[in-house]
Structure formats: C-alpha cells, structure tokens
C-alpha cells in the first residue's frame, strides 16, 4: 500500500474552535497534514484520504512543544470559511460540541451537531489532473521522451508521404 502525506498551511485571522480540540485556538498559521493511500488498479493513480491532522502548540504545563490532533477536513474547511468571512468563534456551550460564529445574524442558540459522512470523491477531471501531476512528479523526464517519440512519428509520416 503506497501512502503519501500532503502538508498545507491553514491561516486563521480570528480565534477558532474545532471539535476534538480543547478550548479556543488563537489566530495564526497552522500546519495541516493529510495522509492518503493509493487506490490499486487506477490509471492515472488515484488516492483516498485516510486522515487529516493539525499541529497545535503544546498544552501549557505538560512539557509538550507541539500536539498533533486529528480533525474532520470538512469541519476545518468550514472553520476557514467562517474565518475568511470575519467570524470569531465562541467557546462551545456545555451541551454542544460545535462552535457558533459570532457576527451579524448569528444566534445565541447552539446549532445541532451534523453527523459527518464519508467525504465526497473528487470530480473525475480533478482526479485525472492530480494523477498526471503525480505521474510527472515520479517520471520527470518521461514527458520529454513522449514528445520526442511523437515528433519522430510525425517526421516519419511526412517523409513517407513526401
């Protein structure tokens, strides 16, 4: 089983809350790692997301320098959208596990927890382009060889036709 890890940076301009993380996190840049496994038998290669983790500062008084916490990628994306819209997260109420964005139109009532289902599969075009990108990363000179062979075939066709 072939695995890959994609590292991105999530930038929050406002404090935020995610389920599974204790307390409100301060604004800043956070490293997000997504582990994916290769789906056998696909051409071009396709990958399935296995886990998404965010790196946070260690908890005070524990001696931790960093903590890595598994997060729901859809919840993280929603938190980034709320942050971009200028919403500031309120700490969750005792009976709720979700944060409520503060801002215009936000109610003081907790929103119901929405069960998270399987993540949506990428569009076929996106999978195709990702597969090509991965193939080119593994075979950096192969595209030049393909172009040289195709050029030779076209040249041969002209010579034969002449």
Domain ranges of the chain: 3-114, 122-162
Longest Cα separation, the chain: 83
Mapping DSSP to helix (H, G, I), strand (E, B) and coil, where does residue 83 land?
Answer: helix
Is the pLDDT assigned to residue 154 strictly greater than 90?
Answer: yes
Q: What mean pLDDT do residues 122-129 have? A: 70
Mapping DSSP to helix (H, G, I), strand (E, B) and coil, where does residue 65 land?
Answer: coil
Q: What mean pLDDT do residues 114-129 have? A: 58
- Scored b (16 or more CB within 10 A) or e, 78-116 reads bbeebbeeebbbbebeeeeebbbbeeeeeeeebeeeeee
C-alpha 7: how far from chain center: 8
The helix (run of H) or strand (run of E) holding residue 67 is strand 66-70
Q: What mean pLDDT do residues 107-116 have? A: 41
pLDDT, one tens digit per residue, over 66-105 is 888 899 989 999 999 998 887 666 544 444 444 434 433 3
Is the pLDDT assigned to residue 116 strictly greater than 80?
Answer: no
> What's the pLDDT score for residue 108?
38
If you average pLDDT over every residue of the chain, what do you get? 75
pTM of the predicted protein model: 0.51
How many C-beta atoms lie closer than 10 Å to residue 144's C-beta?
9
Provide the pLDDT confidence category of residue 110 given band limits of 50, 70 and 90. very low
């Amino acid at each position: 089983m072939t695995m890959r890890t994609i590292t991105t940076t999530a930038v929050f301009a406002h404090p935020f809350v995610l389920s599974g993380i204790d307390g409100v996190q301060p604004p800043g840049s956070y490293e997000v790692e997504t582990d994916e496994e290769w789906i056998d038998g696909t051409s071009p290669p396709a990958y399935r997301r296995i886990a998404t983790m965010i790196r946070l500062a260690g908890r005070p008084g524990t001696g931790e320098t960093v903590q890595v916490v598994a997060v729901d990628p859809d919840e993280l994306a929603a938190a980034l959208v709320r942050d971009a819209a200028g919403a500031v997260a309120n700490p969750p109420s005792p009976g709720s596990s979700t944060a409520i964005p503060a801002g215009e139109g936000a109610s003081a009532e907790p929103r119901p927890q929405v069960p998270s289902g399987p993540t949506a599969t990428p569009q076929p075009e996106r999978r195709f382009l990702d597969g090509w990108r991965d193939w080119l990363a593994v075979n950096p000179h192969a595209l030049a060889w393909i172009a040289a062979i195709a050029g030779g075939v076209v040249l041969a066709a002209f010579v034969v036709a002449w």
